Structure 1
Amino acid sequence: MVRPAIDLWVGVQTWLFETFVSPVLFSLSLMEWFEPAFNAVEFFMLGVVQILVILLVMRPLERRWGVERGEARLVGVDRVYTLLNKLGVIPLLVFVLAYPITNEIEHLVRVFGFTPPRLERLVPGLYDSAFLSFLVYFALYDFAAYWVHRAQHRFGWWWALHSLHHSQRRVTVWTDDRNHLIDDLLVNLVLAVFAQFVGVQPDDFVLILMVGRMVESWSHANVDMSFGRLGERLLVGPRFHRLHHALADAAQPHIHDHNFAPVLPVWDMLFGTARFGDMPRPTGVDDPRIDADNGRGWLGQQMVVFKRFVAALMPRGSWATQRR
């Protein structure tokens, strides 16, 4: 059953590549991009699968058990973000921008004779289980993503970018991909370099991204659901992550400084940022300058957030966006 499904998947990937992508590469004399382009086709296919899961599984649950109602117009721009990201448009731009940097880092690593460790060498038992090996690499990747997320809130210049993600007043399954292009570039660059240094293989990396982003889409769902008292401590769900998007008030001005983990709550539990059991709260930000993102489309948000980013890089006093 599994083998025919894999053969069908590879067959569709090959057909799409040979029919639509390969002729373009050939006509533009870009055949050195053959392998990345073939992998990009698979990324596109995975994105289509994720969109179908959102539409056929997650969205019906939101319609039936949605926590917040009204302001549906605010969600439209998030759908644009989801389509651009899941179908590979933004990842392609990020890859093109990041490739020279990651390639140079890889070159320097080789020059200095450093060989990224494979966990299978350090823990020989992992050779016997591809599934266990994947889980270990996934946990390492999620650990890095947890600290990247904390950095997005800690540094004013990075918060100026990441604040776009938090400005949404009606968080839904579409909100996960609501990020500025530069923010996506920085996050992917850091995580790609991390994955390279801990020895994550390309095939594992793609699967890690897909599984992680599917869980993250669900964790943004507009529902008050979790995986149960034990399960919510094993896997991030909407109830856990929704607190991270909670609108701060005078009584709890730093309520958003909890529940940073993308997939595995264990990192919040280990580093003192976990918070369980809260009732659903309104989402968004208490800064009217950032909240104004809700009235803009995709291009408008990208432009104004870039201005916020530049202002945040200026000496203190020009535009304070640091969030602690």
Structure 2
Amino acid sequence: MRDLIDLWVGAQAWLFETLVSPILFKYGLMAWYEPGYSAVEFVMLGVVQIAVIAIGMRFFERRWPLEKAGEDDKLIMVDRVYTMLNKLGVIPLAIFILTYPLVQEIELTVRTWGYMPPRLERLLPWIGDNALVSFLVYFVLYDFAAYWLHRGQHAFGWWWALHSLHHSQRRMTVWTDDRNHVIDDLIITLALVLFSQFVGVQPGEYVVILMVGRLIESWSHANVDMSFGWLGERLLVSPRFHRLHHALSTPTERHIQDHNFAPVFPIWDILFGTAIYDEKIRPTGVDDATVDADNGRGWIAQQATVFGRFVRALLPRFSRRASAQ
């Protein structure tokens, strides 16, 4: 294991010194030196995630597909673009550049107030003796925050205008998890970063938590009918559990998508009354023709169209404010 870690760190250092550092030096961006080094590791982790999805998870989809291959398979291509852009850091880098000054300003303000993030090791000293236990505790906290953010994506009209892009896919696969609008990604990223700082998650821990969480979420979108058993289904989100969340609404199940929100641990849905467990196989997608039309568009067209939906969802708010003044 030590040799593997040394190999990883060596590759990160080589890539940074060979490709990134000269660019930062040439353009006078040395203030980004430390974030740039971390970004190299983020991209490396992205390559690992793509390999796990393309080789490991796709094996199960090809071997035991829930929906057989058909004409709709072309709809999956754009989801692969989303995965590549997100996992290789293109979208996260843009979001990082936008949010970095804001996060730094918030950190400075908090320090000025004399507030120090409450590391759980101070409250529960015994978890500091076990790295795995510490990771799991922070991972559970991260998932708890992600659960409520996900509910917010469905609860607010302006947020649903963005998140509906994720639900519009009729052919859900392991590539679907990253199918999000960049503004939606920005909001979620900023919220989770601020939450992780508030509870005291260290940057190195956060990167690992994010990678493991996203891999599990990719698997939960898999085109397989796989159950973890009665107990397992209540411990970890499975493709069957999450597929119900993407189910196409019908007159008899109008609010079916307002269930099974949890990204990783179903306990949140169980505790807060949003869990549904049944054996019924439902088609996925949305019952709104305007949103369903996302399936015929490429990445750029989807981003532009969804941004238009987002603005229109906000306009009534602006109109009410203008009339009240």
TM-score normalized with structure 2 length? 0.96
The residue correspondences of 1:42-191 to structure 2 (distance < 5 A) are 42-69=41-68, 70=70, 71-191=72-192
Tell me if 1:248 matches 2:253: no
Aligned counterparts of 1:128 and 1:137: Cα–Cα separation in 2: 14
Aligned counterparts of 1:119 and 1:61: Cα–Cα separation in 2: 38
Aligned counterparts of 2:86 and 2:281: Cα–Cα separation in 1: 28
Query: Residue by residue, what CA displacement relative to the aligned partner does 1:241-296 show, whole Å, maximum 9, x if unpaired?
Result: 00000001001001111110001111111100111123221000000000000000
Aligned counterparts of 1:241 and 1:262: Cα–Cα separation in 2: 8
Which amino acid in the other structure matches residue 74 of structure 2? Answer: R
Aligned counterparts of 1:104 and 1:198: Cα–Cα separation in 2: 18
Which amino acid in the other structure matches residue 206 of structure 1? Answer: V
Which amino acid in the other structure matches residue 215 of structure 2? Answer: M
Q: Which residue in the other structure is 1:197 paired with?
A: 198
Range with greater deviation from structure 2 (304-313 or 50-59)? 50-59
Aligned counterparts of 1:312 and 1:281: Cα–Cα separation in 2: 29
Q: Which residue in the other structure is 1:23 paired with?
A: 22
Question: What SS is found at the alignment partner of 2:235?
Answer: coil
Aligned counterparts of 1:161 and 1:105: Cα–Cα separation in 2: 26
Which amino acid in the other structure matches residue 42 of structure 1? Answer: E
- Residue correspondences, number: 317
TM-score normalized with structure 1 length? 0.96
Which amino acid in the other structure matches residue 22 of structure 2? Answer: P
Which amino acid in the other structure matches residue 292 of structure 2? Answer: D
Query: Residue by residue, what CA displacement relative to the aligned partner does 1:34-79 show, whole Å, maximum 9, x if unpaired?
Result: 1111111111011101111111111121112111232001000000
Which amino acid in the other structure matches residue 286 of structure 1? Answer: D
Which amino acid in the other structure matches residue 16 of structure 1? Answer: L
Q: Which residue in the other structure is 1:40 paired with?
A: 39
1:100, CA displacement in angstroms? 1.6
Q: Which residue in the other structure is 1:286 paired with?
A: 287
Aligned counterparts of 1:15 and 1:228: Cα–Cα separation in 2: 45
Aligned counterparts of 1:231 and 1:286: Cα–Cα separation in 2: 31
1:67–1:280: 8 Å Cα contact kept in structure 2?
Answer: no
Give runs of ≥4 in structure 1 deviating > 4 Å.
none
Aligned counterparts of 2:100 and 2:203: Cα–Cα separation in 1: 14
Aligned counterparts of 2:237 and 2:142: Cα–Cα separation in 1: 15
RMSD: 1.2
Query: Residue by residue, what CA displacement relative to the aligned partner does 1:102-142 show, whole Å, maximum 9, x if unpaired?
Result: 11111110111111100000001011111101100000010
Q: Which residue in the other structure is 1:14 paired with?
A: 13
1:232, CA displacement in angstroms? 1.2
Question: What SS is found at the alignment partner of 2:66?
Answer: coil
Which amino acid in the other structure matches residue 5 of structure 1? Answer: L
1:316, CA displacement in angstroms? 6.8
Which amino acid in the other structure matches residue 18 of structure 1? Answer: E
Which amino acid in the other structure matches residue 108 of structure 2? Answer: H
Aligned counterparts of 2:162 and 2:303: Cα–Cα separation in 1: 9
Gap regions ≥5 residues in structure 1: 319-324
Question: What SS is found at the alignment partner of 2:316?
Answer: coil
| 316 and 248 in structure 1: CA distance in 2 versus 1, 3 angstrom threshold | farther
The residue correspondences of 1:221-240 to structure 2 (distance < 5 A) are 221-240=222-241
Query: Residue by residue, what CA displacement relative to the aligned partner does 1:192-218 show, whole Å, maximum 9, x if unpaired?
Result: 000000000001000000000000000
Query: Residue by residue, what CA displacement relative to the aligned partner does 1:146-191 show, whole Å, maximum 9, x if unpaired?
Result: 0000000000000000000000000100000000000000000001
| 272 and 297 in structure 1: CA distance in 2 versus 1, 3 angstrom threshold | same
Aligned counterparts of 1:86 and 1:297: Cα–Cα separation in 2: 18
Which amino acid in the other structure matches residue 6 of structure 2? Answer: D
1:317, CA displacement in angstroms? 12
Question: What SS is found at the alignment partner of 1:232?
Answer: helix
Aligned counterparts of 2:121 and 2:318: Cα–Cα separation in 1: 50
Q: Which residue in the other structure is 2:322 paired with?
A: none
